[in-house]
Amino acid sequence: MGKIILYIASSLDGYIARENGDVDWLPINTDSGYDNFYKSIDTVIMGKKTYDQILTFGDYPYKGKKSYVFTRNDSLTKDENVEFVSNVEEFSRNLVSSKGNIWLVGGSELFSAFLEHKLVDEIILSIIPTVLGKGIPLFQNINQETNLKLIKTTEYSGLAELTYKVLK
C-alpha cells in the first residue's frame, strides 16, 4: 500500500515561500536527498496555487509521474500533465490503495486538509538556513494536534533534513 509523504523545504522560520509564492531563496543544485526521494514515488499531488507556480518555472517537472491537482473549480478536468480533483477525503481513499508512494508537493492549505483527515504518513522536511521574516507558512489553519516521531536526520551541505512518521 502506498504512503502519502509530505516532502518539502522550509526556511528556518517556517515559511515555504515568500508572500507572493516565490521560492527564489531556495538553494539551486544543493546536495540533498531529492533525487533518491523522487525515484521512490509514483504519484504527485498538489494544490492549484502550487501547480500554477510550478508552471512559471518552465516545463512541467513531474512528467512520467501520475499527477493530480486539487482545486475548488470543478470545471477544470484535465490537461496534458495533470488531472484536476476536488475532494481530499474521497480522492485519497481511492489513491492510497495504490502500491506506490505519493508525494504531497504543496501547498500549506492542502497539507492542512490532508493532516486534518489523517492522510499523511510521513513528513520529510528540509530546513534551509535562511530566515525570511514573512511568507507562506508551512502549516496554516491547523485545527488539531498532530503528533510526530522523528525517525531520521540527515545533513546535506548545510541544510538539515528531518524525517518524521505521523502518529495516527
- How many domains would you assign to the chain? 1
Return the minimum-mean-pLDDT range out of 29-38, 52-61, 64-73. Answer: 29-38
Which range of residues forms the domain containing residue 118?
A: 4-167
State mean pLDDT over 36-53. 91
The predicted pLDDT at position 132 comes to 98
List residues bridging with 157 in a β-sheet: none
pLDDT of residue 76: 64
Q: What pLDDT score does 98 carry?
A: 66
Assign 1 a pLDDT band (cuts: 50, 70, 90): low
pLDDT by residue (tens digit) across 79-130? 788 988 888 877 877 765 667 899 999 888 899 888 988 889 999 999 999 9
Q: What CATH number has the domain bearing residue 117?
A: 3.40.430.10
